[in-house]
Amino acid sequence: MSDGNTRMRLTPEEVEIIRCRREEGSVPASEMVQYDRNVSSLSDKYSGLRKKYKQLLKELDARDSSLASLWLMEKGRKQRIKIPRSLPRKGKKRHSTSWAFAVASDWHAGEYVDPETVSGLNAFDLDIFHKRATKFFKNSLYLTDLVRAGTDIPVFVLALLGDFISGEIHQEIREESLGSATEMTALVTDVLCDGIDFLLKEGGFEHILIPCSFGNHGRNTKEIRSSTAWKTSYEYLMYSFLAKLYKDNPKVHFQLSRGYHNYFDVMDKYKLRLHHGDAIRYAGGVGGITIPVNKAVAQWNKSPAGRNTYLDIFGHYHQSKSDNCWISNGSLVGYNAFAMKIKADYEPPRQQFFTIEKDHGLTFPSYIFLE
């Protein structure tokens, strides 16, 4: 098989013969050496082929992945999505029903805000009061019409939540007032009548619902009453007069409450709790009104009357804020010297607007801008 200097490579058949003879114990030492060399060589070849095989498997996996991606992309191009028009065309029936809400509170008719006392940030007198009240009703209907592009709105809710007059509860208010509590109550009554008539004429609503809550400014007592607060309220008197004025109009419905809370049902599905907001105690602190409001809401929800309340709606703090379970209204009077003194956040005069959709609840919260 070999001479002294030349190594001869064994054929596979010879390797097999030597293997068999080795098992029988009849292989010379020289042949065993050659056999081991051939086995080692074959092992090296096998190792190299194994590495190449693994590399080829990786490359095939990568190609399969690329082909799968291309297939999915091609399938995606063939299966394009179709986006339906969300806004119904003119004449087509909408499949959603909502109620529109405009929250009116803290108008403070009769208050005078001198621009020089608030660094020029605001001004307020009777002329400005009338201009802002006009914009309140005009912009409320404008926002309603925007939402009507996608939902029917047969009902408009005008929530009257108190402090429509500044009243005469403090010496400073009396000194700066542009009219008495009686005069300002009569003025606001006329403005609200004009606003309701505007909604009746231009709104195209089947019903206008008006839940009412009295505030803490329009009272004729020095101290705030609890059980008899409605008896001492100029605003409760105003609401009663308005309710009688529209009692023969089947489209207008007032809901007065002699208690602090006025519970109001929306489409027999969502229960709202309306109130002025002065029962929520807040003396400043981290987090603003959020923490005391959440505490008050949680406590009220424990009572049988308050169970399953969907939203609390209130004013008093002149802050347009909202959370998952409550909405705080801004003001029509705007920033004044008292707000600056207590270091309240600046906020322009504005009120809250929102809708409640039958299947989805609170939708389209927005501000009613007054300037």
Please write the tens of the pLDDT for every residue from 186-196. 999 999 999 99
Q: Is 87 inside any structural domain?
A: no
Q: 309, 275 in Cβ contact below 8 A?
A: no
Whether residues 50 and 179 share a domain: the answer is no
pLDDT value at 281 more than 70: yes
Whether residues 126 and 270 share a domain: the answer is yes
Top pLDDT among 89 and 110 is at 110
Whether residues 213 and 130 share a domain: the answer is yes
Q: Which residues contact 292 (CB under 8 A, 6 or more apart)?
A: 280, 281, 282
Q: Is 320 inside any structural domain?
A: yes
Separation between Cα atoms, residue 157 and residue 145, nearest integer Å: 14
* Residue ranges in 207-325 assigned as alpha helix (H): 234-245, 290-300
Dihedral angle sign, alpha carbons of residues 234, 240, 244, 249? positive
Separation between Cα atoms, residue 328 and residue 322, nearest integer Å: 6
Which pair of structure tokens corresponds to residue 285?
Answer: 């602190």
pLDDT value at 145 more than 50: yes
Whether residues 178 and 57 share a domain: the answer is no
pTM (two decimals):
0.77
pLDDT value at 74 more than 90: no
Q: Is 89 inside any structural domain?
A: no
Whether residues 70 and 152 share a domain: the answer is no
Separation between Cα atoms, residue 252 and residue 157, nearest integer Å: 10
Q: Is 91 inside any structural domain?
A: no
Q: Which residues contact 297 (CB under 8 A, 6 or more apart)?
A: 309, 312, 325, 326
Q: Using 50, 70 and 90 to split pLDDT, how confident is the model at 175?
A: confident
Domain count, the chain: 2
- Give the residue carrying structure tokens 């049988």: 304
Q: Is 1 inside any structural domain?
A: no
Whether residues 202 and 124 share a domain: the answer is yes
Separation between Cα atoms, residue 240 and residue 225, nearest integer Å: 19
Whether residues 129 and 69 share a domain: the answer is no
Whether residues 71 and 168 share a domain: the answer is no
Whether residues 108 and 72 share a domain: the answer is no
Q: 333, 317 in Cβ contact below 8 A?
A: no
Whether residues 74 and 103 share a domain: the answer is no
Q: Is 2 inside any structural domain?
A: no
Beta strands 152-160 and 361-369 are unpaired
Whether residues 143 and 176 share a domain: the answer is yes
As to burial, measured by CB atoms within 10 angstroms (0-12 exposed, 13-18 middle, 19+ buried), residue 68 is exposed
Separation between Cα atoms, residue 263 and residue 272, nearest integer Å: 6
Whether residues 318 and 255 share a domain: the answer is yes
* Residue ranges in 6-28 assigned as alpha helix (H): 12-24
The DSSP output letter for 219 is B
How far apart, in Å, are the Cα atoms of 251 and each of 17, 29, 320? Answer: 111, 118, 30
As to burial, measured by CB atoms within 10 angstroms (0-12 exposed, 13-18 middle, 19+ buried), residue 138 is middle
Q: 153, 144 in Cβ contact below 8 A?
A: yes
What is the amino acid identity at position 134?
Answer: T
- Give the residue carrying structure tokens 């606001």: 188
Top pLDDT among 51 and 9 is at 51
Q: Using 50, 70 and 90 to split pLDDT, how confident is the model at 169?
A: confident
Q: What is the pLDDT at residue 309?
A: 97
Q: Is 3 inside any structural domain?
A: no
CATH number at residue 155: 3.60.21
- Average pLDDT in the 219-237 region? 92
Top pLDDT among 128 and 74 is at 128
pLDDT value at 268 more than 90: yes
Nearest residue to 198 via CA among 124, 142, 253, 254: 142
Q: Is 337 inside any structural domain?
A: yes
Which segment of 43-47, 112-116, 177-181, 313-317 scores lowest on mean pLDDT? 43-47
Which pair of structure tokens corresponds to residue 60?
Answer: 């095939």
Terminal-residue alpha carbon distance, the chain: 110
- What does the chain come to in residues? 371
Separation between Cα atoms, residue 307 and residue 358, nearest integer Å: 20
Beta strands 350-357 and 97-104 are antiparallel
Q: What range does the domain containing 224 cover? A: 99-369
